[in-house]
Amino acid sequence: MKKILFPTFVLILCISCDSKTKGPQIQDLDFSYVNYVDSEHKGTLNILRRNIIILDFSAGECVLEGTKVNDSLICPKIKRMLKSGKRHDPILDSAKFQLAGDVLVPNYVLSASYPPELDYRKYSFWRSEIFRAINELREEFAEERFQKNYWELLDSKGILDRNMLREIQIIYPLRYSEYVMD
């Protein structure tokens, strides 16, 4: 049975491939709560080398884009990279939103690699620093554009607040990938 299923799977996979697609693309990379509730923000994210922000923890320390970074500076460095776009030009795309107006939206994927023997506490700390950077960007954006606290928007049941939250999560999505080095 397995001998029949594998060639059939490969055949179906080959038939479903579209040779017209230019360059590598990943569909629906953002698996946030917003995408489960409301699927209005669909499309593709073109993955290019300049869009991937590499965090290498395989040596037991943080190496962000080839530069060793102190653990206390991981969050500020990621925030600076996503806000400015200077390091990954052109990482910022212009977009117009109903409530937020014209915004430069970062187009990125955070990719972290970890060693297999890593202590869970260290892994948890590094991962929380990455997530903290995105959440702080969301908080700053909410305060700047809407004069509202991001965490209060999360708890709010109001339609306007939910729409603000949706736009913030589209502007600063959590696109995160991690893998264990062999």
Global confidence as pTM:
0.70
Question: What's phi and psi for 81, nearest 5 deg?
Answer: -65, -40
Q: Which amino acid is present at 129?
A: E
Q: Which amino acid is present at 8?
A: T
By the 8 A CB rule, do 77 and 86 touch? no
Over residues 38-74, the pLDDT tens digits come to: 544 455 555 555 678 889 998 889 999 889 999 999 9
Find residue 52's DSSP bridge partners.
Answer: 109
Alpha-carbon distance of 157 to 112, in angstroms, equals 34
Confidence of residue 34 (pLDDT cuts 50, 70, 90): low
Query: Which distant-in-sequence residues (6+ apart) come within 8 Å of 107 by Cβ?
Result: 45, 46, 51, 91, 92, 93
